[in-house]
Amino acid sequence: MEAKPYYITTPIFYVNAAPHVGHLYTIVLTDILKRWQVLQGNKALLCTGTDEHGMKIQQASAKAGSEPKPFCDKGAEVFKSLAARAQVKYDHFVRTTDPAHKEAVQYAWYLLKERGYIYTSKHEGWYSVSDETFYPESAVHLILDPPTGRKIMASIETGKEVEWTSELNYHFRLSAFKDQLLELYGENPDWIVPQARMSDVVQAVSEGLEDLSISRPVERLTWGITVPDDDSQTIYVWLDALINYITKTGYPWAPGQERALGWPADVQVIGKDIVRFHCIYWPAFLLALDIPPPQRILTHAHWTLGRKKMAKSTGNVVNPFFALDRFGVDTMRFYLAHDGGISQDADYGNEYIIERYKKSLQGGLGNLTSRILRAKNWNVRRAVERFAGKNVSNRSDHHSDQQMLLESLAERTKKHMDELNVSGAIRTIMDAVYQTNKYLQESSPWLLAEVEGYDSEARVDRIVYLCAESIRICGILLQPCMPEKMGRLMDMLGVDIARRSFEYAQMGSDVHYGVSKVDLGVGRGSRGALFPPLASNE
């Protein structure tokens, strides 16, 4: 039987407003994790998409003077454009208005009801239109709304306004799954990343669960999937939305096909504001349907702007298209992945991007590449032929230290990626770049090159080879983060396409490179440089 493909998902994004840089971070992070699997030779599938039902969409489309479906069509295209612009290689783009998704949701509803997990009851509570959910009394408080100056009741968790609502609707027996959820968490202590959010979820479930309202009266919510056999109710948007993750894996599955298209997901990437839905509601729905839960859930922190949360309602957002146009795709992918927060929020700023570019890309990897590949004092191919596959140093010296650094780099990077720590992996690679620049400066091969003789030539070649290997290995490992720039770097080094996979990110594993496939622009200023200086107006 063919192995299950590695399956990774982003959350599906609301189309009620334009995407901001936080959305870009999520899809880039997910894309890097997928590309990492492909780098290792694994088949991997990435699913992203748009959440198009619910009160927020109904109100936003009405405000825009549009029918909901055309409004959603336009919004979905914007998110597709963002993914394409950011070079995100998704395999599936799911929309909750897709006919196949509607069939999957209604089938899941039938099963849940048939198994006794759905019942009707009057529901009263604090409801947030923005969050599309009810909150218990303990989860709301009175606040002063800064934009309007009004006193409002709001969710403690999200800060969104809530209103008291009383209605008759369908409920899911979430309370029945407390023990099963705790068992899931106990058997999989790393199920949620980072650990602090795992602890929060365990605590929340341990304190008890209330049954979940999973429908809305159609007179209040028309835009959504109708409850099967009851056209007076619309299915709750979160039950509808969460099913998307199995829609594109072929649910409902034909016998024997449950794993063919990737389920259970290996990783689901979400923002920290939707942890409760994905880490409590979602596994409970799956347990009720006898479907295995995802293997892991990566919950990342937010990007702030001026130390304040980005919010479409206040206009405190960054247009991701403008950012990509200004700084370039690979620069933005690198910055977001390197500086983005998992446990703690990260503050976004153009000055931070420029600083990161100058230090890490232009001054770090770009500088190292230029100094080795564009120099006239030595020949990289000759150095590779002389030292590839050999022990470069038998002594305990800085050459030996550099060799050991490179010999362990791939596995140290892989360890971070296995832990879903993308930033840690990239920082490990960049530390190797900084160390290699330091090694090059201390070794000063340009001085040795002025001395004639075989011994001095061999000493120069040893230094050049260790630096070239650093560039090659770091370049291979950085491909998931910066696919376009690292493709060019491999061309500059003369690395064959067939030798750019993870297995070649080992010291001495490639003896064939060293002749550039592109114009290096030697002696022509920044022309041909991997990371040229930013424009003066930046």
At residue 192, what is the residue type?
Answer: I
Q: What is the pLDDT of residue 91?
A: 98
**Averaged over 379-389, what is the pLDDT?**
93
Q: What is the pLDDT of residue 454?
A: 65
Ramachandran region of residue 90, left (φ > 0), alpha (ψ -120 to 50) or beta?
Answer: beta
Domain count for the chain, please give it: 1
Q: What is the CATH number of the domain that holds 471?
A: 1.10.730.10
Asked, for residue 383, whether it belongs to a domain, the answer is yes
Alpha helices in 277-394 (DSSP H): 282-288, 320-327, 329-339, 350-356, 367-373, 380-387
Asked, for residue 164, whether it belongs to a domain, the answer is no
Helix (H) or strand (E) holding 114: helix 99-114
3-state helix, strand, coil in the chain (%, to 5): 50, 15, 35
Asked, for residue 379, whether it belongs to a domain, the answer is yes
User: What residue numbers bound the domain in which 478 lies?
Assistant: 349-504
Strand 230-235, strand 215-217: pairing: antiparallel
Total residues found in the chain within this entry: 538
Residue with tokens 């998307």: 244
State the pLDDT confidence band at 537, using cuts at 50, 70 and 90: very low
Tell me: pLDDT of 538 over 70: no
Q: What pTM value is reported for the model?
A: 0.92
Could you report the per-residue pLDDT of 70-85, keeping only the tens digit for each? Answer: 999 999 999 999 999 9
CB 334 within 8 A of CB 361: yes
At residue 248, what is the residue type?
Answer: K
Asked, for residue 195, whether it belongs to a domain, the answer is no
**How many CB atoms neighbour CB 125 within 10 A?**
18
Asked, for residue 64, whether it belongs to a domain, the answer is no
| The two structure tokens encoding residue 48 | 């992203």
Tell me how far apart the alpha carbons of residues 76 and 262 are, in angstroms, rounded to a whole number: 24
Could you report the per-residue pLDDT of 248-306, keeping only the tens digit for each? Answer: 999 999 998 989 999 999 999 999 999 999 999 999 999 999 999 999 999 999 999 98
Strand 6-9, strand 267-271: pairing: parallel
Close Cβ partners of 441 (under 8 Å, ≥ 6 residues apart): none
Asked, for residue 488, whether it belongs to a domain, the answer is yes
Asked, for residue 393, whether it belongs to a domain, the answer is yes
Tell me how far apart the alpha carbons of residues 232 and 215 are, in angstroms, rounded to a whole number: 10
Could you report the per-residue pLDDT of 134-167, keeping only the tens digit for each? Answer: 788 888 899 888 777 788 998 888 888 989 887 8
Tell me the three state secondary structure of residue 135.
Answer: strand
Tell me: pLDDT of 522 over 70: no
CB half-sphere exposure, 48, CA atoms < 13 A: 28
Could you report the per-residue pLDDT of 311-320, keeping only the tens digit for each? Answer: 766 778 899 9
The fraction of the chain above a pLDDT of 90, given in percent, is 79
Asked, for residue 486, whether it belongs to a domain, the answer is yes
CA 198 to chain centre: 19
